[in-house]
């Protein structure tokens, strides 16, 4: 290995992706009806936007810091798809605790977060739902982040428990929002 690359590799720290970066905003939960012509048919998806944070360079995790003083702002979301839950209505999720087997076992649930232009896998360990009210439900979601699978991006793997408010959004509402954003 050339001396310059060894020097760069030896000086690069590995970021501990602390809870300061995992501050959830209100997320969405969507049920994809079983009759849809889609691989998602009959499953649920959850999107959890995270509060933005700052960096001097979005591709250098050493420069990540909480707050939005810039000069760059990192904005990303946790995306969980193809979640097999025991019901197809939000009300029936009330007060349920759902555990998932580890990947790659059948029934596991995975998702992702994008950082440093990389797909970083997430394994969902469990979801504890609160009481559903008026198209909203609270959830405690236990996650395992596998940053190492992203190919040496310089962030330690970790687990986390997020407490989030989720708003029910229908597939039609998502389609309309996407179409409006594309115009």
Residue 2 has pLDDT above 50, yes or no: no
* pLDDT mean over 86-90: 91
Range of the domain at 47: 15-54+77-182
* pLDDT mean over 8-12: 45
Are the C-beta atoms of residues 143 and 113 closer than 8 Å to each other?
no
Per-residue confidence at 143, pLDDT binned at 50, 70, 90?
Answer: very high
* CA 171 – CA 178 distance, rounded (Å): 11
Residue 58 has pLDDT above 70, yes or no: yes
Please state which of the ranges 17-26, 59-68, 90-99 shows the lowest mean pLDDT. Answer: 59-68
User: What pLDDT, on a 0 to 100 scale, did the predictor assign at position 179?
Assistant: 65
* pLDDT mean over 5-22: 65
Q: How many CB atoms lie within 10 A of CB 145?
A: 24
* Domain presence at residue 72: no
* Domain presence at residue 94: yes
- What's the number of domains the chain is made of? 1
* Domain presence at residue 173: yes
* Domain presence at residue 63: no
* pLDDT mean over 103-116: 88
CB-facing half-sphere around the CA of 64: CA atoms within 13 A:
24
Place of tokens 């596998």: 146
* Domain presence at residue 5: no
* Domain presence at residue 64: no
* pLDDT mean over 28-50: 92
* pLDDT mean over 140-169: 92
Residue 166 has pLDDT above 50, yes or no: yes
* Domain presence at residue 138: yes
* Domain presence at residue 66: no
Mean per-residue pLDDT of the chain: 86
């Amino acid at each position: 290995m050339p001396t310059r690359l060894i020097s760069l590799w030896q000086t690069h720290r590995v970021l501990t992706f602390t809870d300061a970066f995992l501050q959830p905003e209100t997320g969405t939960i969507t049920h994809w009806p079983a009759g849809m012509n889609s691989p998602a048919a009959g499953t649920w998806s959850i999107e959890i936007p995270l509060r933005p944070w700052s960096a001097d360079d979005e591709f250098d995790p050493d420069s990540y810091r909480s707050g939005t003083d810039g000069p760059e702002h990192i904005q990303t979301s946790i995306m969980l798809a193809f979640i097999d839950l025991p019901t197809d209505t939000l009300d029936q999720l009330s007060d349920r605790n759902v555990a998932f087997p580890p990947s790659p076992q059948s029934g596991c649930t995975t998702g992702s977060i994008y950082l440093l232009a990389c797909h970083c896998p997430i394994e969902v360990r469990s979801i504890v739902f609160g009481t559903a009210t008026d198209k909203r439900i609270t959830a405690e979601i236990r996650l395992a982040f596998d940053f190492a699978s992203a190919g040496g991006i310089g962030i330690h793997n970790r687990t986390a428990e997020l407490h989030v408010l989720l708003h029910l959004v229908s597939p039609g509402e998502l389609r309309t929002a996407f179409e409006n954003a594309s115009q």
